[in-house]
Amino acid sequence: EAGVAQSPRYKIIEKRQSVAFWCNPISGHATLYWYQQILGQGPKLLIQFQNNGVVDDSQLPKDRFSAERLKGVDSTLKIQPAKLEDSAVYLCASSLESRDTDTQYFGPGTRLTVL
Amino acid sequence: DAKTTQPNSMESNEEEPVHLPCNHSTISGTDYIHWYRQLPSQGPEYVIHGLTSNVNNRMASLAIAEDRKSSTLILHRATLRDAAVYYCILRGGGSNYKLTFGKGTLLTVNP
């Protein structure tokens, strides 16, 4: 079974530039998550999709971050414009549903450096 | 969200058992206890979860205290590949089933 795919793996941009990350979840998984992981901290949930609808985006900085999940499969996360503090690893995860016993499967992440 | 407390770091020797503790004194009756781990430069991976009874799988065992205010992840024979950050997470309907990660425990395995 193929895992969660993410691209690119690494990205370096200057502040105020825009960047986009792509995620392809495990086939058949209805729930997709984007996390931000700053160095030395645990991942923080940014947004959760159930199929192509948003379930939770309470921690997404909506003035600069946006995400979409077209057709309930692939997803993109965009930052525009980027700030220095956005330097982090962006992780995508997916699960069959969203319940207290579901396993989340994580991709390898995209490491973003903002200069 | 219900909070968990874990030691910042622990050290073990290869092929010895490892007991990773987690305190969760404010756990609610319907919260599941999940453990994930994150190997260097990888995304987190699921290890095990439980509600009240002890659980075993091919990766580890989970021992849950009778009052559910603490739990212990047990790696029966640590290998170098087990060196990772281990996260203990409470997951329930009150938090919309979110995984809320803390800082976890950094496990170092010595050869």
Spatial separation of the C-alpha atoms in residues B77 and A48, rounded to whole Å: 36
> Taking 90 as the threshold, does the pLDDT of residue A2 lie above it?
no
Model pLDDT, residue B76? 95
The dihedral of CA A59, A62, A65, A71: what is its sign? positive
Show which residues on chain B lie within 8 Å of chain A, measured between beta carbons: 30-32, 36, 41-46, 49, 85, 87, 91-93, 96-104
> Taking 90 as the threshold, does the pLDDT of residue A61 lie above it?
yes
Task: List pLDDT tens digits, range B38-96.
Answer: 999 999 999 999 999 999 999 999 999 999 999 999 999 999 999 999 999 998 876 66
Q: Which residues of A touch B91 (CB under 8 A)?
A: 100
Pairing of strands A75-79, A65-68: antiparallel
> Taking 90 as the threshold, does the pLDDT of residue A44 lie above it?
yes
Model pLDDT, residue B109? 97
Per-residue pLDDT band for B1 (boundaries 50, 70, 90) equals: low
Q: Do A108 and B43 touch (CB under 8 A)?
A: yes
Spatial separation of the C-alpha atoms in residues B102 and B88, rounded to whole Å: 8
Model pLDDT, residue A52? 85
> Taking 70 as the threshold, does the pLDDT of residue A47 lie above it?
yes
More confident residue, B29 or A5: A5
> Taking 60 as the threshold, does the pLDDT of residue B25 lie above it?
yes
DSSP A108: -
Q: Which residue of B has its CA nearest to A102?
A: B97
More confident residue, A5 or A98: A5
Spatial separation of the C-alpha atoms in residues A8 and A10, rounded to whole Å: 6
What is the least distance, in Å, from the CA of B6 to any CA of chain A? Answer: 13
Q: Do B100 and A45 touch (CB under 8 A)?
A: yes
Q: Is A15 helix (H, G, I), strand (E, B) or coil?
A: coil
Are B76 and A23 spatial neighbours (Cβ–Cβ below 8 Å)? Answer: no
Exposure class string for A13-50: b at 16+ Cβ within 10 A, else e: beeeeebebebbbbeebbbbbbbbbeeeebbebbbbbe
Q: Which residue of B has its CA nearest to A105?
A: B45
Q: Do B32 and A56 touch (CB under 8 A)?
A: no
